[in-house]
Structure 1
């Protein structure tokens, strides 16, 4: 930001503020982010409640699908949505229903596809806050599902909802690839797209820095207001897992759960299936023989693996610092502030971070040779909020459970990590997987800094679609999603381990 401000002309910012187009972009950015966040949470609440109370065949698979869908490469998910909801898509072919995909409706569909599973995962963490004694008492008193939700669940969910709402709002407000692909024109542009246009097509650093600061200001005000109104979120330190107790069932609760699950299936599964449809076409084998495809795979791995390692290191550093503050009374207010600080990175557009870092390195004499490191670093930082979401709850829990025991026995530093490693492995594996997939699917920073020798799979896919090679693009999308799934489950297996993986599935 400091590097960008060096190129700014503050006296011209007043002129930008008087442009009607700017405020139309701001209004649309706010409107679509609020709608996307609200719809995602409204669907996620009954889905999370159903997944907590119901055991059914395929439940763990659905949870794994939710974990992957929220970090699926954006351009791949957009292609799946086009296959399902497009003008000649499945919905039109089977039922004759035409959906105006390019515009606000398409943006909302894509955002709900990404953020509803994320909201479900966050709300299920809220259910982990409920002591087992309350479930046992509700079962003994014969509570119905509605009474249990009204008297028990809502009290804990409302502590998680503000944080989830802010996180999803920031993701939607700073959405780039979704709006660029499905916006359909300037009428449906967001601030992030306006920043990209200012940097890529105009190279107007003054305008880009103004728009970036405006976005940071809006997101900061929104987050401060929500967090001020939000109740304090405290985790029960006495439990590693919650034992479930049967509640009084009814026909209405079964109907409600069925509708909630149907919504989740309809929104998430068809685009996933559509992504794999080109595997059965004859052109798929031809696409696999393309040298450009495998060069793009190699570049993507070169970016994603170092970025995921850096992001995991940053996340663990945040967690260690937060636990250090928890153990000291005079620093006890800092852990939540540190977690919020890690999430604040979503307020700053990745394009702006990348441009500012590039200008800073250029001033040091690194020039265009620093583009690769800029892409790696920015991807690592932008994945940090997801890494923190996976790591912090378990790290907090271990600190609260064993702090006094560690102090009494004199267990410190490396000895603590050896003791906690079996319990932390699933969370670390999940955090690394999230960072890996987010870096692998990034199209924002690479679209700005990509060159002939730095073309990742998402950028290569976007170039194919832009040149109307849709069949080849669909085949590249299959390769990208298969690579994502292979890397995600490999990280779960090799880092999480078999026993830890079983514990994670049990906790899910």
Structure 2
């Protein structure tokens, strides 16, 4: 609120009338709404059969595929875009195999990149919904000899339909406020969005009046969509009797086998080639020459010193909201307050990160603090932008522990750090997942750093963007390898250090 009020204080609402009648702005709104809606629907349409297959089947490479999904969710945007260009560009692998170029720059490329990022997120959220189904229902399904389709229709869908509205809203918000994907693959003003227009108004025009109007417009649209979704979405309830015992197989026919095979094949062809393209420069001599550049290692240092504090701060804020929400959930009228606390963590999706960063910069400048403190602005904004992912990771586990053991804790007077020590083994995997997501999202940030980046705050994504912008694509590919290897190292290290040796992310 402080950042938003600071931005509005520099605006002139009396001049907003000329923006309201500007046809270009409303064309931006239509395209933003179109690409976000299509991206969310396409991601969910692919994620539902894939999640069903991963839940019901055990096959070699299943855990590897889940880990790949986890990394693809938070792989730096500019790195993924580089891999997508190598695969689907005018002279890419797709053109070599099929003989014609994929329409990469425009709506097609934006949808391709958004589904690459958000389909794995949708799969993991839907798998969490499967975890809410009591084990007794699966035993009864197996005893009655129900088929996969019958089990989906009678049992699974009643749980999924409670999760899908919130999932649609999350993916819609992420795509509606997308910046780097649209900036790189939009192909021009015809495929631009409000987020890119806000960046142009701030970075190139420094028109705070226009930026504040566009920001308010984006907040109003996202808030309207969020209210509509929350209005009609059924509440998700955690069953206290959830017990993951021995999983019994369901009767499967030809159609489920075909759907499983096709869905997994499509997803692998969608996700795997960009990763292969990203890592392919590692065998070139230019890669080892790039490793000797001092600018590369300074960028690595700046990226790590921003990402780790941002991730820790996001985890602290997320745990604070989650602890407060679960402490009031089962009190009188506690559901309403707990829902509002959860939704407060998603409010940041309605406000662009560029708006938060600019508002904080103006506020600090008003207080006499200059651009030399841009580092703390970047850390804070990245932490807040990662908050929805942290809450999504830790809330289900914390709610489950509260519902199962809250009466016992009250009777034995176990609170605070004593309770945390008892719960640590059950919640550490969820905390590792939330921390890893927050760190990697901050590591791959380009929008906020692009606005405030300087010679003393040049991160790896910014360094990579500059190389690609100066047509040094081969060297940029080598830097992308360093960035993705750094992501994998941090992801694995956080998973094992916080989640433990048996953590499954």
Q: TM-score, normalised by structure 1?
A: 0.98
Matched, 1:407 2:405: no
For residue 311 of structure 2, what is the aligned residue in structure 1?
308
| Structure-to-structure mapping, 1:26-45, within 5 angstroms | 26-45=29-48
Q: Deviations over 1:479-504 (max 9, x none)?
A: 000000000010001111114x1xx3
Q: Counterpart in 2 of 1:192?
A: 195
Correspondence for 1:111 among 111, 114, 124 = 114
**Deviations for 1:3-52, whole angstroms, at most 9, x for unmatched residues?**
01101111111110100000000000000000000000000000000001
- Show the counterpart of 1:48: 51
Once the two structures are superposed, what CA deviation does each residue of 1:201-231 show, in whole Å capped at 9, x if it has no partner? 0000111011011101000000110111111
Alignment partner of 2:244 out of 241, 244, 256: 241
Structure 2: distance between partners of 1:327 and 1:378: 32
Judge conservation of contact 2:134–2:243 (CA < 8 Å) in 1.
no
Provide TM-score, normalisation by structure 2: 0.98
Give the secondary structure class of the aligned counterpart of 2:235. coil
Q: How does 1:344-493 map to 2 (within 5 A)?
A: 344-493=347-496
State the match for 1:130 in structure 2. Answer: 133
1:341 aligned onto 2:355: no
1:65 and 2:68 matched? yes
Which stretch shifts more, 229-238 or 74-83? 229-238
SS of corresponding position for 1:333: helix
Runs (4+) of structure 1 exceeding 4 A deviation are none
Counterpart Cα distance in 2 of 1:366 and 1:248: 66
- CA distance in 2: counterparts of 1:71 and 1:242, whole angstroms: 31
After superposition, where does 1:79-228 map in structure 2 within 5 Å? 79-228=82-231
Matches within 5 A, 1:261-272: 261-272=264-275
Quote the offset at 1:253 in angstroms: 1.1
Which residue in 2 is equivalent to 1:295? Answer: 298
Point out where structure 1 has 5 or more consecutive residues left out of the alignment: none
- Give yes or no for contact 2:198–2:214 (8 Å, CA) kept in 1: yes
Contact 2:105 2:186 in 1 (8 A): yes
For 2:499, what is the secondary structure of its paired residue?
coil
Aligned partners of 1:67 and 1:391: how far apart in 2? 15
Tell me, in whole angstroms, the C-alpha distance in 1 between the residues paired with 2:20 and 2:246: 55
Displacement, 1:240?
5.1
Could you tell me which residue of structure 2 aligns to residue 3 of structure 1?
6
In structure 1, C-alpha distance between the alignment counterparts of 2:333 and 2:167, rounded to whole Å: 28
What is the deviation of 1:94?
A: 2.5
Note if 1:12 corresponds to 2:15: yes
C-alpha contact (below 8 Å) 1:131/1:242 kept by paired residues: no
1:336 positional shift: 1.7
Unpaired segments ≥5 residues, structure 2: none
Deviation at 1:238, TM superposition (A): 2.3
Shift in Å at residue 333 of structure 1?
A: 1.9
What is the DSSP-based 3-state SS (H/G/I as helix, E as strand, rest coil) of the residue aligned with 2:75?
coil
Report if the CA contact (8 A) 1:350-1:444 is conserved: yes
- SS of the equivalent of 1:56 reads coil
Alignment deviations for residues 291-331 of structure 1 (CA, whole Å, 9 cap, x no partner): 00000000001110110110010011011111221242243
CA RMSD after TM alignment? 1.0
8 Å Cα contact 1:179-1:189 kept in structure 2: yes
Q: Which residue of 2 aligns with 1:253?
A: 256
Q: Deviations over 1:369-407 (max 9, x none)?
A: 121110000000000000001111101110001000001
Give me the whole-angstrom Cα distance separating, in 2, the residues matched to 1:254 and 1:457: 43
Give CA deviations for 1:69-103 in whole Å, capped at 9, x if unaligned: 01110000000000111111111122323101011
Q: Report the equivalent of 1:329.
A: 332
